[in-house]
Structure 1
Amino acid sequence: MILEVQGKQAYCYTGGRTFDASLPAIVFIHGAQNDHSVWALQSRYFAHHGFAVLALDLPGHGRSSGPALTSVEAMADWVLALLTAAGVEQAVLAGHSMGSLIALEASHRAPQRVRGLALLGTTWPMKVSDALLDTARSDEARAIDMVNIWSHSTIAHKPSCPGPGFWVMGGARRLMQRMSQINPEQLFYTDFAACNAYANGQAAADAVRCPTLFVLGTKDVMTPPRSAKLLTGAIGHGRIASVDAGHQMMSEQPDAVLDALYGFASKL
């Protein structure tokens, strides 16, 4: 589905169903150098089980027009504007990594529009090492390879994970390379810098009153579960679901992530 948001074209995958704003809505927000496709299984399942789905491409990512936005705050405002464009008054926001910060900030800016928060692969502060920031700015291809290795729990996934013939690490790497091809303006560095600079996490977490789910990968070295303690402590009513995966949990453990998300959102 194509929408006009802040004067530019925005793309959202609706899970293979015609979007119906009268249904309970869920918005899937991807992380750095990704697009809506990282939510392929989860978004399609929700769309076929009673939800209105918006798996978005952030500006400058995938099919949404650029340029990429340079701050978490700007991206949160964009997500809220997208809800308005789609005719959605209130939604569950599910965000992965950078997307989790966007969801958190959006809930702080417009709490009345957020029915629930699902924060996956999250942490705050979401600091990025100087070495990785420098590499993202000077050699994006190398930064992609670095992050791709760190984001997965193993280089040899089981043949059936998540389906015969599916190469988990290769798929993630190719997606990030594709984002570089369609947006050569240092997209990875822009995303990383936005995560690194986001300073409102504590205030935003302290203000959360809606139901909240944390989905954390037990083998995640990008955002280790222990690093999420500031957020989980601030949102004391939040529930934690652990999955046996690294940072790219939606592809390493798609069913476990889906079970956690649907079990949460279907009860709101």
Structure 2
Amino acid sequence: MLIPVQGADLYAYTGGKAFDAAKPTVVFIHGVLNDHSVWILQSRYLANHGWNVLAIDLPGHGKSGGKPPESVEEAADAVLALLKAVGVDQAALVGHSFGSLIALEAAARAPAQVSHLAMVGTAYPMKVSPALLDSAVNAPEKAIAMVNTFSHSTLCPPPSALGPGTWLYGGSRALMRRVLASNPQVNVFYTGFKACDSYAGGEQAMPAVHCPTLFLIGKHDQMTPPKSAKALAQHARLAKIVEVNAGHSLMTEAPDEVLFALRDFLSA
């Protein structure tokens, strides 16, 4: 589904179902150098169980046109513009990593428009090492390898989101290469990491969120350590923390646990 947002078409995967503004809506927001496909299991399930699903490619990423957001605030404005474009007064926001900060900022800016906030693989502050920022520009293959090493908790994961035999490291690397190549004008790897590193509004945004907030974190996450997520949760009004046995790539390493946590949270 292509939706005109801020002067460009923004792509949203709907889980194979037609959009119906009368149904409750959930927006899935991916992290750095990812796209809508990282939510494949969760988005398809909810689309088949009474929800409108909009699993987006951020502007300038994947199938979406427009300029890649240079800050969390810019990206949050795009999400809120998306809700306006589809005529939805209120939606649940689910974000992973960079996407979790975007969802947080959007929920703080427009609290009446967000019914639930789920922050998956999150941390605040979400600092990025200078070495990784440099590699994202000057040695992207090296940076992709680094991110995948730190994003997965084991070399031998159980059956994953795409089924037994899936090579999580290889699939993730292929996706990151594809998203990087999708925008030859702007390095979305560096732009995304820089936006995470520069975001300074988390502690102010969290108390401004009025809806229930789920902190869904990986016990073995090295990219966004659980202690950082728990510190942010202390500033939330209505916080729930769920830990799963995974690293930063929760949706592929622990797909059922992530799905069940989101299902239960959104149904409450």
TM-score range, shorter chain: over 0.9
1:102-181 alignment, distance < 5 Å? 102-158=102-158, 160-162=159-161, 163-181=163-181
CA contact (8 A) 1:28 1:55 kept: yes
Deviation at 1:206, TM superposition (A): 1.8
Q: TM-score, normalised by structure 2?
A: 0.97
Deviation at 1:156, TM superposition (A): 2.1
- Unmatched tracts of structure 1, length 5 or more: none
1:248 aligns with 2:249: yes
User: Which amino acid in structure 1 is aligned with residue 152 of structure 2?
Assistant: H
CA contact (8 A) 2:207 2:237 kept: no
1:201 aligns with 2:202: yes
Counterpart secondary structure, 2:92: strand
CA contact (8 A) 1:72 1:195 kept: yes
Structure-1 residue corresponding to 2:76: 76
Deviation at 1:234, TM superposition (A): 0.4
Moved more, 88-97 or 63-72: 63-72
Structure-1 residue corresponding to 2:29: 29
Structure-2 residue corresponding to 1:101: 101
- Unmatched tracts of structure 2, length 5 or more: none
CA contact (8 A) 2:212 2:237 kept: no
CA displacement 1:109-157 (0-9 Å, x = unmatched): 1111000100000011100011111111211121111101110001222
CA displacement 1:161-199 (0-9 Å, x = unmatched): 341231111111110010122113211000000000011
Deviation at 1:3, TM superposition (A): 0.5
CA displacement 1:57-115 (0-9 Å, x = unmatched): 10111100132110100000000000111111100000000000000000111111000
State the percentage of identical aligned residues: 57
Counterpart secondary structure, 1:235: coil
Task: Give distance in 1, aligned partners of 2:239 and 2:78.
Answer: 25
Structure-1 residue corresponding to 2:222: 221
User: Which amino acid in structure 2 is aligned with residue 132 of structure 1?
Assistant: L
Counterpart secondary structure, 1:241: strand
Q: CA RMSD in A?
A: 1.0
Counterpart secondary structure, 1:173: helix
User: Which amino acid in structure 1 is aligned with residue 261 of structure 2?
Assistant: A
User: Which amino acid in structure 2 is aligned with residue 232 of structure 1?
Assistant: A
Task: Give distance in 2, aligned partners of 1:255 and 1:228.
Answer: 21
Change (3 A) 1:145 1:66: farther
Deviation at 1:237, TM superposition (A): 2.4
Structure-2 residue corresponding to 1:12: 12
CA contact (8 A) 1:202 1:230 kept: no
Task: Give distance in 1, aligned partners of 2:230 and 2:249.
Answer: 20
Structure-2 residue corresponding to 1:264: 265
Task: Give distance in 2, aligned partners of 1:223 and 1:3.
Answer: 31
Task: Give distance in 1, aligned partners of 2:10 and 2:117.
Answer: 22
CA contact (8 A) 2:35 2:61 kept: yes
Deviation at 1:236, TM superposition (A): 4.7
1:226-245 alignment, distance < 5 Å? 226-245=227-246
User: Which amino acid in structure 1 is aligned with residue 211 of structure 2?
Assistant: C
1:55-70 alignment, distance < 5 Å? 55-70=55-70
Moved more, 149-158 or 125-134: 149-158
